[in-house]
Amino acid sequence: MKWKDYPQNIKVRLITSFFNRAVASAVMPFMALFFAQEMSKVWAGSFLIITVFIGFFVNMIGGYISDRFPRKKVLVMTSFLSACMFLLMAVSLLPTDRWIGLFALAYVFFIIASSLGRPAMHAIIIDSTTPENRKAIYAIDYWMVNLSMAIGAALGGLLYLNHQIELFMLLTVTSASLPIAYHIWLKDERVVSLKKQHHNVLIDLLQNYRVAFQDRPFVKVVIGSMFIFSAEFSLNSYIGVRLAESFQTFTIADFDVAGVRMLSLLNIQNMLLVVCFTFVVNRFTDRFSKKHVLLTGLLLYSIGYVTITSANSWYLLILFNFIGTIGELVYSPVRNAEMANMIPEDKRGSYSAFSNISFSGADLLARSTIIIGAFLIPTMMSVYMGVLLMIGTLLVYTGLFVRKPKRKLANRPEII
């Protein structure tokens, strides 16, 4: 599929998200460090945990809103608010005695604004694609996400320590261009809008997600994806901690590679593989059935992450990180496209918001591996990770391909 053949909304979404994510990736990973330096570690940890919960619940509200109201208006308003919040953050850094209270407040409202708009952005991809071209579009989206994050990480490494104000001003300018781009180029696609079923908005919102929760195949894919993603997320939690504590330092041309640097090498390898091989793998897998592609990808992914969970040799870590990343490149576009095909037309925003449980749950599972790893030896942690991945694979496969016809029950109106 060539760029000129992409729907206009997809082009707008890919381009704007690329630049916004590149600049945001230069700042957001440093928020914990920023608040820890300005306040304290306890304050920073508590504050950021609160914002995670705020973002999760607001995201669910955003899914409901994006189904009830025109998505273009939702995106223009939320992206404008996000730009205003970044401007406030930049302004709060200008005085010598920084206004940390204003910065923290602006950060909270940025989380609220971005979480409200995120489901609408995800739903636009589904609105503007067909089952035939979704796999290709999800592949390029996946590629651009990783490329923009790599650029953002490099930008943040260069500018964060000594040029924070300039970095936030750059983020402000980039964010301010998004609502303008959405207003000019984004089209309101003709999709079925969600009708209000109850006078009480809260009951209507809960009823909307009740329908999603009763869609058993979709729930199986969401829960299964949570188990699968937890393996990748554990790279920067349990695996990172284990490498920092027990990895044997080795030297390459007078350059010492300790555990933390080994973790960085694995992350760099992951991003480079995604940037270089996404389209090659996608074209290769197009000739095979989606069921076989999904299972093959998840098998490779599982073999890779189960091994690096306990491996302590640099060559094993590099080899099996390669296998795991290739597996991710194989299964990810199929999972994303088939999952999108399951979503009812009038609930795309709500289902997209509901599917974010995969990421929130995976993050919690990955963090819990640090605690579990304190009681289990690394080989047992590999077994634990293998069990999670087996369960995840079974749930995703059966949810997507075994019980898919029963999904239509979820479209029936529910009565309270």
> Residues 6 or more apart from 216 whose CB is under 8 A from it?
399, 403, 406
Q: Note the pLDDT of residue 415.
A: 31
Per-residue model confidence as pLDDT tens digits over 119-176: 888 888 788 888 888 888 888 888 888 888 878 877 776 777 778 888 889 889 989 9
pTM listed for this prediction = 0.76
| Element spanning 196, H or E | none
Query: 300 is written with which tokens?
Result: 């490779």
Backbone angles phi, psi at 256, to 5 degrees: -80, 130
Q: Note the pLDDT of residue 327.
A: 96
- Cα separation, 21 vs 99, in Å, equals 26
Q: Note the pLDDT of residue 80.
A: 94
- Cα separation, 120 vs 126, in Å, equals 10
Q: Is the dihedral of CA 16, 6, 228, 154 positive or negative?
A: negative
Token pair 């707008």 is found at 12
Q: Note the pLDDT of residue 9.
A: 87
Q: Note the pLDDT of residue 414.
A: 37
Q: Note the pLDDT of residue 322.
A: 96
Q: Note the pLDDT of residue 63.
A: 85
- Cα separation, 176 vs 178, in Å, equals 6
Q: Note the pLDDT of residue 97.
A: 82
Would you give the end-to-end CA distance of the chain in angstroms? 46
Q: Note the pLDDT of residue 316.
A: 94
Q: Note the pLDDT of residue 45.
A: 72
Per-residue model confidence as pLDDT tens digits over 50-68: 887 888 888 888 888 888 8
Q: Note the pLDDT of residue 299.
A: 97
Strand partners, 250: 257
Q: Note the pLDDT of residue 195.
A: 60
Q: Note the pLDDT of residue 408.
A: 45
Query: 106 is written with which tokens?
Result: 């602006």
Parts of the chain with a pLDDT under 50: 404-416
DSSP string across 26-89: TTGGGHHHHHHHHT-HHHHHHHHHHHHHHHHHHHHHHHHHHHHS-HHHHHHHHHHHHHHHHHHH
> Residues 6 or more apart from 325 whose CB is under 8 A from it?
269, 270, 273, 274, 304
Q: Note the pLDDT of residue 407.
A: 46
DSSP string across 210-225: HHHHH-HHHHHHHHHH
Query: Could you tell me the CA-to-CA distances from 343 to 69, 100, 212, 292, 350 in Å, in that order?
Result: 18, 42, 9, 22, 9
Q: How many CA atoms lie within 13 A of 115 on its CB side?
A: 20
Q: Note the pLDDT of residue 275.
A: 86
